[in-house]
Structure 1
Amino acid sequence: MDTANGYFVVKKKAIPEVLLKVVEAKRLLETGKVQSVHEATEQVGISRSSFYKYKDDIFQFHDNAQGTTITLTFQMDDEPGLLSDVLKVIADFKANILTIHQSIPINGVASLSISVQVLPTTGDVSEMLESLEKKQGVHYVKVLAKE
């Protein structure tokens, strides 16, 4: 499998600590909280060589999702109002719902796919996904595609 130029969506808990520290160092530089790479790497506790090695290859999902379409898949209980609750979370984060497809529930569980347009006004997509996963009755949320 050739993944040299591919992209992956990975949950934060699966990312090695050094990569998370690179993202934090980049954030410190971008926000002006530090003036140099040396200061940023010293503050987060990584070497400058680690920073330079990974800086162009890791970024927070929401930073690069604006203006794109994300297709999500869910499995959720077939309960009155649950779909409405899920859609409200998406609306609260100011994402634009483009399509919704829900299967006929089997054994009380429905499969759902939603395509969402992430806009400049949309909140943190990672937080939105986390909020959706925490909804009672939602079994899982996965990102199928990002266009």
Structure 2
Amino acid sequence: MLEKNKAEPMYLVKEDCLPEALIKTMQAKDLLASGAVKTIHEAVDRVGLSRSAFYKYKDGIFPLSKLERERIVTLSLMLEHRSGILSRVLALIAGLEGNVLTIHQTIPLQGLANAVISIETSSMGERYQEMLDTLDALDGVRKLIVIGQG
């Protein structure tokens, strides 16, 4: 049974539709990321934005190219304690061009073990949902929960 955390809605919006404060926040973030300025104070001064507006919006706006490059999902899987199940999960992820970043598996109790796997999915493209559906249906996977995406 696949369960997804309820995430806040996201929108793809053309820049000319955004309020000036959001555009300037992105400009300030770009200055910081490029090293053109060293502090947030310098960045907001250069683009003509208040620090309070920067702090209000900085965690809510990102360039689309960054979101495409850095797509990471964390899954929690309840696995039956049988030989080869985790290997099949990892092979499926790799076969769909997912890059496993971390794995943590608990000691099996009452025939089940929990595995938490973080996967970089930017190379998967449209196959992301296929991965979730196939993992959820895989023999030996009792439960799959998406516990984080970013």
TM-score category (smaller protein): 0.5 to 0.7
Q: 1:97 to 1:133 in 2, by over 3 A?
A: same
CA displacement, residues 6-50 of structure 1 (integer Å, 9 cap, x when unaligned): 249xxxxxxxxxxxxxxxxxxxxxxxxxxxxxxxxxxxxxxxxxx
Q: 1:119: how far off?
A: 2.0
Map of 2:83 onto structure 1: 80
Q: 1:70 to 1:121 in 2, by over 3 A?
A: closer
Contact 1:75/1:139 (8 A) holds in 2: yes
SS in structure 2 of the partner of residue 128 of structure 1: helix
The percentage of aligned residue pairs carrying the same residue is 32
Contact 1:65/1:118 (8 A) holds in 2: no
Contact 1:97/1:116 (8 A) holds in 2: yes
Q: 1:67: how far off?
A: 2.9
1:70 pairs, out of 37, 51, 73, with 73
Tell me the matched-pair count.
88
Map of 2:8 onto structure 1: 6
1:142 aligns with 2:145: yes
User: Larger relative contact order (C-alpha < 8 A, sep ≥ 6)?
Assistant: 2
| Paired residue type of 2:100 | I
Q: 1:128: how far off?
A: 0.3
Q: 1:71 to 1:117 in 2, by over 3 A?
A: same
Q: Is the radius of gyration larger for structure 1 or structure 2?
A: 2
Stretches of structure 1 that go unaligned for 5 or more consecutive residues are: 9-63
Q: What is the TM-score normalised by the length of structure 1?
A: 0.55
Q: What is the TM-score normalised by the length of structure 2?
A: 0.54
CA RMSD between the two structures: 2.2
